[in-house]
Amino acid sequence: MLARWMRELTAPDINRFAVLYYLDKFVAFRQTGYNEEERQTLLWLEKLVDNVKPNHRLILVALKDSMVPIELYTNSPNTNLIAIPMPDKADRLAYLKHRLGEHQHLELAADLTDGLYLKNLDHIADAIRKSPELSARELRRLLNKYRLGEQADYWSALSIEKLNEAFSWFVEEEGVKGQDEAVREVIDLLCMARAGLSGIASGTPSKPRGALFFAGPTGVGKTFLAKKLAKFLFGTEEAFLRFDMSEFKEEHTVSKLIGSPPGYVGYEQGGMLTNAVRQRPFSVILFDEIEKAHPKIMDIFLQILDEGRLTDSRGQTVYFTETVIIFTSNIGTRTTDFHGRPVNERQQVDAIINDATIPHDQKKKLLHEHFKKTVEQFFMYEISRPELLNRIGNCIVPFNFIHTEETQTKIVTSHLRRIKEEFEDRYRLMGYKLDFAPEIAKWLVEKYGDQMTIFGGRGITNAIEFEIIRPLARAVLRAENQTRKNVVFHVRTDAGKIVIRNE
């Protein structure tokens, strides 16, 4: 093909015009050098560009200008690199009006097609013309099908009955204990998303379905609630995508999320975030401990919350319109701030918790105010990113400390119930059963309550592993060694200790 172009574009006869689409599919700029096939292609292109006659035109099209090999335009007076911007809303609106006339959902279609090219709008306009009476919800569904492929419509399947039972499902069935206010905030978000009103106040319906900022001490259930939200919405915790921001402290780690630039190692692999969302466009995405991320990462968050999309290093757009974004943070319990300076956040929290003169409900209110205030100060003054705080809005959700005996007992009881279910499922072929005496939960709370206050649910997880799981494992191995079946393992207290007997 290139040889034929060489003949035609270097011939001094009639004017000729040639376009090579997706140049980067043939050869893309590489900082690390080219393989043999790419070198040969690049040599042909250089020769072609240098010898095109003035009366001819050659246009090479790439998804991104950074993908164009610099050898084709550096020190070449006959070559010009032109970056063509994405069509803005006015462009999209004008084009859709040209294709569809005065359609009832022109404005909405222009909003929802942010990030698409006019050639994409051409296909979408054809689909809309086939269903001229489609509703706003059907239009969103049509665009999802175009962007995301054939996907289950999880949001439309979210029934009012399921939403009415959501609180009981999170708290009673899934064991989210001691965080009733946070659960209600999540359900409010689901109601807005189900009604199709996410982003309507800001006039940008292409935003993610929702965004929340979970603030509070470690181990109180922030990640746990996010996992259960994924299960509630999409039927599986595999739809939960977690990114630990402590792994993104350095500036160069931005490329880990969206992919390395053309020419750098890892370019072909894409980014961790963009790849994950491309594979699971319906997901709950957790950015854990956001305060540890490099400031450049904040720009990515801003684009996701603003536009509901990201373009990866390969020029491919990934859409977040069907995701729920959750940030978590331990801001409010730190001893050093973002810049390494000492802060007394933990002391302020301890002072409230340990003040016996403050009623329980008042303590909870004061702690919630403390966490909201410290999160706001973090964005406003520590990292000077008030625009990101504005995108989060009133979605800062403080989590409660696990310091009351009632809450601790509920959490321990939930842990024991889950352990019993998983144990009996794992050993169902052996007929093994697990029985906890009623006093076990109280015994654990009395002994490990202080650890739960400090370390949250992780404190009781460690305690259960030490006090119950280890001796239970030995008892199970003895029973297996004796080839015993249909054994009931009784967990009791005796003389101030937990004992396991079987029969």
CB 254 within 8 A of CB 297: yes
Domains of the chain plus CATH, in order, are: 2-72 (no CATH), 89-148 (no CATH), 203-398 (3.40.50.300), 405-502 (1.10.8.60)
Q: Over the stretch 330-389, which tens digit does the pLDDT of each residue have?
A: 999 888 888 888 888 889 988 988 888 988 889 889 999 999 999 999 999 998 999 988
| SS3 at position 116 | coil
Main-chain dihedrals φ then ψ at residue 176, nearest 5 degrees: -85, 95
Nearest to 223 by CA among 326, 373, 316, 293: 326
The band of 284, judged by pLDDT with boundaries at 50, 70 and 90, is very high
CB 475 within 8 A of CB 500: yes
CB 41 within 8 A of CB 26: yes
Residue with tokens 């207290």, as numbered in its chain: 493
CB 333 within 8 A of CB 345: yes
Average pLDDT, the chain: 83
Least confident of 2-11, 267-276, 361-370, 487-496: 2-11
Q: Over the stretch 220-279, which tens digit does the pLDDT of each residue have?
A: 999 999 999 999 999 899 999 999 999 998 888 888 888 876 656 666 677 899 999 988
User: What are the CA-CA distances from residue 38 to residues 9, 27, 73, 407 (Å)?
Assistant: 22, 6, 17, 64
What is the DSSP code (8-state) at residue 12? S
The number of beta carbons lying within 10 Å of the beta carbon of residue 147 is 21
Q: Report pTM.
A: 0.73
Any residues with CB less than 8 A from the CB of 477 and at least 6 apart, and which? none
- Bridge partners of 317, per DSSP, are 311
The number of beta carbons lying within 10 Å of the beta carbon of residue 340 is 6
The number of beta carbons lying within 10 Å of the beta carbon of residue 405 is 12
Element (H, E) at 311: strand 309-311
The identity of residue 273, as a single letter, is L
The band of 460, judged by pLDDT with boundaries at 50, 70 and 90, is confident
CB 472 within 8 A of CB 489: yes
Residue 374 and residue 349: Cα distance in Å, rounded?
11
User: What are the CA-CA distances from residue 100 to residues 94, 222, 453 (Å)?
Assistant: 10, 46, 61
Nearest to 232 by CA among 262, 191, 278, 265: 191
The band of 24, judged by pLDDT with boundaries at 50, 70 and 90, is low
Joined together, the tokens standing for residue 411 give 């959490």
CB 467 within 8 A of CB 494: no
Q: Over the stretch 442-453, which tens digit does the pLDDT of each residue have?
A: 999 998 888 887
State the pLDDT at residue 371: 93
> What stretches of 153-247 adopt beta strand conformation (E)?
210-215, 240-244
